[in-house]
Structure 1
Amino acid sequence: MRRALVVLLAVGFGGLGTLALASAPRAATTTTAATATTTPSTARGRSMFVASCASCHGQDARGVRGRGPSLVGVGALAADFELRTGRMPLAAPHQEPMRHHPAFSGARIADLVAYIGSLGGPPVPVVSGGSVRRGHERFADSCAGCHQIVGRGGIATGAVAPALQDATPVQVAEAVRLGPYLMPRFGPRQLTDGDVADLAAYVTYTRHLQNPGGWAIGNLGPVPEGLVCWGIAMVLLLGAARSLGERAR
């Protein structure tokens, strides 16, 4: 009886030891896999670049004449903006980049940004704080001529100035420093980092505007508002003219 009890205890402890040994490597593997998934990799970014970007930007990222510019020195800032706003990759080299759903997942974008960033250039900016009031002043001075005073977009010479309601504060800062497509580039001498934070705060504010005056007509500005007013006025004037004419009879 004692011998049987000893055998059962030995088997039980042996099984527990086996389970412990089997579970330890799996936990380590899971942790490693999770870390590898969340940490950007320049090696993976390089592989993705060769597969998806090299046809326009070259195997060495120094550009291809007539197809795409060099990316050496543009930094993580440019790559992050173009990829996260879906402006890249383009269907045709001379097409105007427009905001679309990103072509790659967040993790793949992070890898590509890490690779392009390794070629030199400014990092992804960090934006915090900012004053809506000062941002409104900066926006009126530097941005409203193309994007309209509440960021609903417009038509510029040779391009379309996009609406800004989907832009994150970081993307606003990236666009200011990058100057995508025909947009002018603003350096720290023109707009300080504090000015950029103010702009980002104002652009974020324009997403949910209050309209105490009533019907905003999409916040598209004075031209459509004037057209609507003229349309209503014409209907009222025609009605008044017809009423007076009938009375004259």
Structure 2
Amino acid sequence: MCRHLAYLGAETTLRDVVVVPPQGLYEQSWQPRMQKYGTVNADGFGVGWYADGDPQPARYRRAVPIWADASFADVARVTRTRALLAAVRSATEGTSQGEDAAAPYADGPWLFSHNGRLDAWPDGVGALAALLPPAELLRLESRCDSALLWALLRRRLTAGEPAGDAMAAVVAAAAAATEGRFNLLLTDGRTITATAFGDTLFIRETPDSVRVASEPDADGVWTEVPDRTLVTATREAVHLHPLPDRS
């Protein structure tokens, strides 16, 4: 299990979004309040962010707890952005432990994170893996369920499928193949696309920003997203679309 967060809005620092808010993502790494599966998120972390004028995001990922990385505190304090995606990781049993398994995953303008797990990993996800050509399976960034879901989503995005349609299709395929929790989070620096499927998801809107997160911090007013929902959000508007039930 994991916790993740995406932000679009006025220029700010990584520190002000990820570290400073009480009960925010930084604190959720050791004391999540709403996490039903797992107790801490200490198997790694990552942040991806966009610099003005560059559509391709930068990333900082480690295989250590976020609180144990003193260098990140300095990076977060001085790095400014208008869009980011961050995650703290609780690894699924049997998955890779290196920083290559820490979200966000990236390709071109996209950043991706998965909060959840494929319950049948690894032996029972053959039907899902079979949706990828063998060469793409061999190129998975890491040996973990999140990397498989990212490869499936990336394939659709690369083919030109709209992000919301692509994400809904991947969640449907995952739910058909195995039990699990499929909260996905994606951004290209302009739009956030997310799913609530088996775990909590919240949105916070202000006049100059929008946040989508696994659980709220204690700063501002958050709205819970109903389960089985697709979220598409920009700074100007948030839209919710029902996802089909498992059946």
- TM-score interval, normalised by the smaller of the two chains: under 0.3
Q: Which has the larger radius of gyration?
A: 1
TM-score, reference length from structure 1: 0.24
Kindly indicate which of the two structures has a greater share of residues assigned to strand: 2
Relative contact order, CA 8 A, sep 6+: which one is greater? 2
Kindly indicate which of the two structures has a greater share of residues assigned to helix: 1
TM-score, reference length from structure 2: 0.24
